[in-house]
């Protein structure tokens, strides 16, 4: 399984002004593509802090790193500087990225979004990429997204505005991820157990995972309050769809057999 890590950047996330929904959205999409998210981290808006987390992700063995946020024109948009420091490459003006930024501000000027199309330093900054990086088209905003191949893994740097991030992800990142992840299939099935006690259900879940390697089971409350029955979410991923389907079915059957064999049961 390919290890993926997500780094969400922005002080507003750390001050509780903005809920980070990007990481959860990406986690769901990438899990469905067969990637395994092993860590999500929100560092401070600080070149050193960002570099530290990029390095940690690469050291953890992440083959795919996705960052969100910090690509814009303001002084606290430091993602590319953080990435550059982590992989010890210089930041240099990328001609294609500069062309993109120039064109975008010209369009925004014509639409009346900005007062002047001139490429002032704050705008040019968005075209300073780590050496060897490739700018990715941002169909919505002014900052290009960035793709980088390193010896340890690849890095996608995406904007933080959800609709920009999502549109770049679907259009440009997904095809590349499919290639990186291979023909990975992910299946998820939720079972209503009727069991209300997690301390009892936990033992059965552990037993099922031992007997059917390669599946993951997680119990969760179907609603609020301790009296409510628990659900178990069964997940499995791999290259062979038939095999995974068989595995999930076997897991579900075994779980239900074990639940039926419980000595005392109320409700259900």
Q: From CA 39, how far away is CA 56, in angstroms rounded?
A: 10
Angle, CA 169 vertex, CA 165 and CA 171 arms, to 5°: 120
Closest by Cα among 76, 73, 95 to 11:
76
Q: Which residues contact 200 (CB under 8 A, 6 or more apart)?
A: 262
The residue within the footprint of a copy of itself, chosen from 34, 72, 153, 159 (CB under 8 A), is 72
User: DSSP 3-state assignment of 121?
Assistant: helix
Is residue 54 part of the contact set for a copy of itself (CB under 8 A)?
A: no
Closest distance of CB 215 from a copy of itself, Å:
13
- Under rule CB under 8 A, how many of the chain's residues touch a copy of itself? 72
Q: What residues from 76 to 115 belong to the interface with a copy of itself (CB under 8 A)?
A: 76, 108, 111-115
Q: What residues from 107 to 166 belong to the interface with a copy of itself (CB under 8 A)?
A: 108, 111-116, 120, 122-123, 141-142, 161, 163
Q: From CA 216, how far away is CA 236, in angstroms rounded?
A: 6
User: Is residue 243 a contact partner of residue 263, using CB atoms and an 8 Å limit?
Assistant: no
The residue within the footprint of a copy of itself, chosen from 21, 149, 192, 211 (CB under 8 A), is 21
Q: What residues from 223 to 262 belong to the interface with a copy of itself (CB under 8 A)?
A: 224, 226-227, 233, 235
Closest distance of CB 22 from a copy of itself, Å:
11
Closest distance of CB 14 from a copy of itself, Å:
4
């Amino acid at each position: 399984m390919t290890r993926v890590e997500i780094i969400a950047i922005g002080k507003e996330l750390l001050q509780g002004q903005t809920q980070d929904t990007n990481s959860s959205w990406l986690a769901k999409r990438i899990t469905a593509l067969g990637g395994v998210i092993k860590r999500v981290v929100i560092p401070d808006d600080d070149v050193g802090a960002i570099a530290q987390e990029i390095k940690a992700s690469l050291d953890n063995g992440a083959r795919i790193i996705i960052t969100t946020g910090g690509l814009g024109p303001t002084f606290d948009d430091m993602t590319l500087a953080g990435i550059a420091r982590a992989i010890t490459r210089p930041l240099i003006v990328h001609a294609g990225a500069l062309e993109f930024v120039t064109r975008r501000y010209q369009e925004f000027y014509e639409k009346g979004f900005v007062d002047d199309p001139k490429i002032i330093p704050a705008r040019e900054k968005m075209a300073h990429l780590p050496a060897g990086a490739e700018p990715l088209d941002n169909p919505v905003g002014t900052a290009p997204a960035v793709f980088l191949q390193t010896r340890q893994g690849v890095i996608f740097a995406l904007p933080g505005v959800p609709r920009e991030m999502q549109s770049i992800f679907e259009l440009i990142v997904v095809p590349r991820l499919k290639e990186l992840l291979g023909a990975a299939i992910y299946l998820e099935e939720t079972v209503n157990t009727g069991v209300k006690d997690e301390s009892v259900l936990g033992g059965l879940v552990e037993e099922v995972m031992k007997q059917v390697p390669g599946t993951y089971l997680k119990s969760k409350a179907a609603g609020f309050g301790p009296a409510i029955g628990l659900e178990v979410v069964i997940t499995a991923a791999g290259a062979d769809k038939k095999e995974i389907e068989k595995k999930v079915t076997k897991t579900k059957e075994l779980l239900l057999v074990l639940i039926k064999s419980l000595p005392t049961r109320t409700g259900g």
